[in-house]
Amino acid sequence: MKKIIRKKKSNEVRIGLLGLGTVGSELANLIGINATRIDKEYGIRLNLSAAFVRDVSRKRNVNIHIPILTTNPDQITKNPDIDVVCECIGGNGFEETRQFILDSLHHKKDIILSSKKALALYAPEFIEAGNSNQVQIRYDATVGGGIPISKVFEASFRGDTVTSISGILNATSNYIYSKMENDQMDFSQALKQAQQKGYAENNPSDDVDGFDALYKICILTMLGMKRIPSPQSAIAQTFRNVELCDMQYASELGYSIKPLALADRVNGHVEYHVGPTLISNRHILANTFENYNSIMVKGNICGQLGFYGQGAGDKPTASAMFDDLLNLILSKQHNLFQGQEISSYSQIQLKEKNSKKYWRLSLLNEPGALANVTSVFAHNDVNIEKILQKNKHKEYMELVLITGIAKKHKELFSELSKNPSLKIENVLHVTE
Amino acid sequence: MKKIIRKKKSNEVRIGLLGLGTVGSELANLIGINATRIDKEYGIRLNLSAAFVRDVSRKRNVNIHIPILTTNPDQITKNPDIDVVCECIGGNGFEETRQFILDSLHHKKDIILSSKKALALYAPEFIEAGNSNQVQIRYDATVGGGIPISKVFEASFRGDTVTSISGILNATSNYIYSKMENDQMDFSQALKQAQQKGYAENNPSDDVDGFDALYKICILTMLGMKRIPSPQSAIAQTFRNVELCDMQYASELGYSIKPLALADRVNGHVEYHVGPTLISNRHILANTFENYNSIMVKGNICGQLGFYGQGAGDKPTASAMFDDLLNLILSKQHNLFQGQEISSYSQIQLKEKNSKKYWRLSLLNEPGALANVTSVFAHNDVNIEKILQKNKHKEYMELVLITGIAKKHKELFSELSKNPSLKIENVLHVTE
């Protein structure tokens, strides 16, 4: 074992990274950017001591000096100079990842995980090794990307019972279905586009055949129900099994088709389903598009809760791991949540926001009426994005306009108010 | 001061309630139901010692014995035998509530708040009193009902900056708008129905004129941005200002109208908006109906996150307060988040779920074909809820069926497979 790391300072936490791909690099940068502030706010010195990589010479987008870059994983997992291991290996080589995790735990290192496959398949082993070595395992980044779902489960449901969890958990399949629904692509076209954009692997089976979603619903069951289901005993229905006409028929009937995973707690077991699923169009889940994930959690007391965010992406995933890292360290230092740092609050001024607007006008049905009104918008620099004309009566029409973001709505209002041949019926805010 | 409470045991926490209405009663019941388990799991003895009420003789739905029921608030706020105060006063008399809160803080009691109005208007005073007396103020229940939003802010965004918060925060107005959009009621009809159902007060101004939403966006700004805005300096646009035709025109243009509040962080100030707002139909916020709330939070690193749940109701609110109570006590005992209690995990079996199904069939276009197929569904006890017939070619039609929840989909599949005049094109899961 190389002993390159200097003597540990008090309050110093020595961090080892397993993997320095896009997520690992982003996490390294987050540690670099925040280290000074974290030292000042919490008295914690984050020290990124070493990283395991496959290729030392590869160019990386990392803005922090890492003393040891090594192709030997033992330099992280078995190194007595490392306190916390952050596993950013990704999807491939989960058997090897399993060994890295077990080695880290057996060498009494707390660990932050990102590999859902290794966790879902070997959770009982990891938990036993964590318990017997009295170290922590945190794994918010394994499911829902940037959604802080494990933080929710840790601090909520204390007097409640989680009865059901469901979600859109696989960003790749959801991206494909979104393209099918919104751009009328068929599955294979949309998959190809996902691959070109880097959202799907060359071998996309884990994502599009439901395995990834199955692993994640198992992890959510662990978090929310404190029960470990075995994904080996379950069958996922492939997400490939949807044709464009199914999307269209579902839409006619008021549904969207989504790549869903769900787990319901039933006495003594968990009822699950993973596969393409019709969901009512106005449900939160049906309105989760592209690379976003949604997780719905039902409790006996609190009722239905929903959590939404980017399910994939380097920044959201690294952000979840960084929060896990800080929460882990703070929990060990016994000063998490003390007084909520309310002393650091300061006062701030509220100012009204400029925005897009919805205008509803009545105007006399006479030649040039429309041109007359729109020219008033134009010379007040208010751009018109959408227009709807309704001839309610012979004498006058209703005109509905959606504008761009503009500053001069007040000037516009004042000028239109003076026009005797129209009436301002309503003006409302529009969000982007 | 009456000294009726016996000597305090170690690990005992003596709780005083301010208010024993519907939320207070639900919280009392949660304490009663969970006390034994909490003692066993955490070694904490929850003791509900006293409650302040307006009328001692009123009948209440409380299943736990409360030693002191008193009309004297000092018995809670100034009683040295009370450790933690839970304020369940509700919307009325916020000036009095302010005094109760300040008295509690000055007598060194930690406090769990539910009154958003008192908090939004007097936050700087409360925070100063909390800091100078070294006690905690927790207030998850003041915004978003059962949504665990303060837990999210406490444990997330540690390397990130919150740049924007928006949400549907007033359940009453959202109920009214939902009735307008879905049942074509006008505002005053829908308000009347909300009042009849107990969702709106006799004087509904705080809710429907935007004040309640403004208080809540100010509280979210405190939680997420650690800045205290003053709601006195801001103007909310009333939610009454929407006619049924506005809903309809918005819908034609692809929008829903919602009672929105938002706050964007800008250098040195917060840009806000509270009022009726058009939101794209397929946005999460546009699909938040009835008494539900949604809160969207944007971070520089994690991107857009969303949180959804019941924004009003006794159980969700009491559940949020109970979690605040436990988190407060655990944080003081320095054992929050230690090892995540992974030793209590156990394994559980996964079983496939029965469900509603979507069936797509092709069948020959011959007399009796439809009756023939539907009778197979019927004698397998599979109820048909929706049916769609598409004549794609002269010789055959496509038939799309949505069934009820049924057990015999396998038997049905096997029987239909044997029928030479039809082909099963697809079978998909449907959620309720």
Cβ–Cβ of A155/B158 closer than 8 Å? no
User: Which residues, including other chains, have CB under 8 Å from residue A97's CB and lie 6 or more apart?
Assistant: A18, A87, A89, A115, A117, A118
**The predicted structure's pLDDT at residue A340:** 45
Q: With beta carbons less than 8 A apart as the criterion, state whether B11 and B44 touch.
A: yes
Is B365 exposed, middle or buried, given 0-12, 13-18 or 19+ CB atoms closer than 10 A?
Answer: middle
Cβ–Cβ of A429/B276 closer than 8 Å? yes
A361: amino acid identity, one letter: L
CB-nearest partner of B278 from A157, A279, A430: A430
Cβ–Cβ of A308/B308 closer than 8 Å? yes
Is B410 exposed, middle or buried, given 0-12, 13-18 or 19+ CB atoms closer than 10 A?
Answer: exposed
What are the residue ranges of helices labelled H in B268-404? 314-332, 369-379
CA distance B106 to chain A (A): 15
**The predicted structure's pLDDT at residue B392:** 72
**The predicted structure's pLDDT at residue A344:** 61
CA B189 – CA B187 distance, rounded (Å):
6
CA B418 – CA B395 distance, rounded (Å):
20
> What are B14's strand-pairing partners?
B47
Q: With beta carbons less than 8 A apart as the criterion, state whether B267 and B293 touch.
A: no
CA A74 – CA A85 distance, rounded (Å):
11
Cβ–Cβ of A352/B272 closer than 8 Å? yes
Q: With beta carbons less than 8 A apart as the criterion, state whether B369 and B423 touch.
A: no
CB-nearest partner of B131 from A303, A335, A343: A343
pTM: 0.92
**The predicted structure's pLDDT at residue B6:** 59
Looking at beta carbons, which residues of chain A come within 8 Å of B323? 155-159
Chain A contact present for B134, CB below 8 A:
yes
- Please name the residues between 52 and 81 in chain B that touch chain A, using a CB distance below 8 Å: none
Measured from the Cβ of residue B264, the count of other Cβ atoms closer than 10 Å reads 16
Mean per-residue pLDDT of chain B: 91
Cβ–Cβ of A350/B257 closer than 8 Å? no
**The predicted structure's pLDDT at residue B162:** 96
- Looking up tokens 């074509």 gives B184
B216 carries an active-site annotation: yes
CA distance A315 to chain B (A): 6
CA A349 – CA A259 distance, rounded (Å):
44
Residue B134 phi/psi, 5-degree rounding, is 55, 45
Q: How far from chain centre, in Å, is Cα A352?
A: 30
H or E element, residue B388:
strand B384-390
**The predicted structure's pLDDT at residue B9:** 76
**The predicted structure's pLDDT at residue B366:** 85
**The predicted structure's pLDDT at residue B238:** 95
User: Which residues, including other chains, have CB under 8 Å from residue B366's CB and lie 6 or more apart?
Assistant: B421
- 3-class state of residue B73 by DSSP: coil
Q: Which candidate, B106, B99, B96, B114, places its Cα nearest to that of B135? A: B106
H or E element, residue B101:
helix B94-106
CA quadruple B11, A225, A300, B180: dihedral, nearest 10:
130
User: Which residues, including other chains, have CB under 8 Å from residue A160's CB and lie 6 or more apart?
Assistant: A299, A300, A301, A302, B319
Chain B contact present for A42, CB below 8 A:
no
CB-nearest partner of B345 from A146, A228, A266: A228
CA A145 – CA A131 distance, rounded (Å):
26
Chain B contact present for A367, CB below 8 A:
no
Residue positions counted in chain A: 432
Q: What does each of the 432 residues of chain A score in pLDDT, given as a tens digit?
A: 555 555 677 789 999 999 999 999 999 999 999 999 999 988 999 999 999 999 999 999 999 999 999 999 999 999 999 999 999 997 678 899 999 999 999 999 999 999 999 999 999 999 999 999 999 999 999 999 999 999 999 999 999 999 999 999 999 999 999 999 999 999 999 999 999 988 899 999 999 999 999 999 999 999 999 989 989 989 999 999 999 999 999 999 899 999 999 999 988 889 999 999 999 998 999 999 999 999 999 999 999 999 999 998 999 999 999 999 999 998 887 544 444 445 566 777 778 788 889 999 999 988 888 898 999 999 999 999 999 988 777 788 999 999 998 888 889 999 999 999 999 999 998 986
pLDDT in tens, B306-343: 999 999 899 999 999 999 999 999 888 754 444 444 55
Measured from the Cβ of residue B398, the count of other Cβ atoms closer than 10 Å reads 18
Q: What is the DSSP string of B136-197?
A: -EE-GGGSSTT--HHHHHHHS-TT--EEEEEEE--HHHHHHHHHHHHH---HHHHHHHHHHT
A48: amino acid identity, one letter: L
**The predicted structure's pLDDT at residue A312:** 86
Residue B120 phi/psi, 5-degree rounding, is -60, -40
A86: amino acid identity, one letter: C
Looking at beta carbons, which residues of chain A come within 8 Å of B160? 319
**The predicted structure's pLDDT at residue B333:** 75
Looking at beta carbons, which residues of chain B come within 8 Å of A243? 425-426
Q: What does each of the 432 residues of chain B score in pLDDT, given as a tens digit?
A: 555 555 677 789 999 999 999 999 999 999 999 999 999 988 999 999 999 999 999 999 999 999 999 999 999 999 999 999 999 997 678 899 999 999 999 999 999 999 999 999 999 999 999 999 999 999 999 999 999 999 999 999 999 999 999 999 999 999 999 999 999 999 999 999 999 988 899 999 999 999 999 999 999 999 999 889 989 989 999 999 999 999 999 999 899 999 999 999 988 889 999 999 999 998 999 999 999 999 999 999 999 999 999 998 999 999 999 999 999 998 887 544 444 445 566 777 778 788 889 999 999 988 888 898 999 999 999 999 999 988 777 788 999 999 998 888 889 999 999 999 999 999 998 986
Q: Which of B116, B117, B216, B298 is catalytic?
A: B216
CA A321 – CA A327 distance, rounded (Å):
10
pLDDT in tens, B339-387: 444 556 677 777 878 888 999 999 998 888 889 899 999 999 999 999 9
Q: With beta carbons less than 8 A apart as the criterion, state whether B228 and B222 touch.
A: yes
H or E element, residue A247:
helix A244-252
CA distance A4 to chain B (A): 28
**The predicted structure's pLDDT at residue B163:** 96
Residue A358 phi/psi, 5-degree rounding, is -105, 125
Chain A contact present for B174, CB below 8 A:
no
Residue B98 phi/psi, 5-degree rounding, is -55, -45
Q: How far from chain centre, in Å, is Cα A166?
A: 15
Residue B125 phi/psi, 5-degree rounding, is -60, -45
User: Which residues, including other chains, have CB under 8 Å from residue B39's CB and lie 6 or more apart?
Assistant: B45, B46
CA distance B322 to chain A (A): 7
pLDDT in tens, A401-430: 999 988 888 899 999 999 999 999 999 989
CA A420 – CA A430 distance, rounded (Å):
27
CA B257 – CA A430 distance, rounded (Å):
9
Q: With beta carbons less than 8 A apart as the criterion, state whether B279 and B255 touch.
A: yes
**The predicted structure's pLDDT at residue A410:** 87
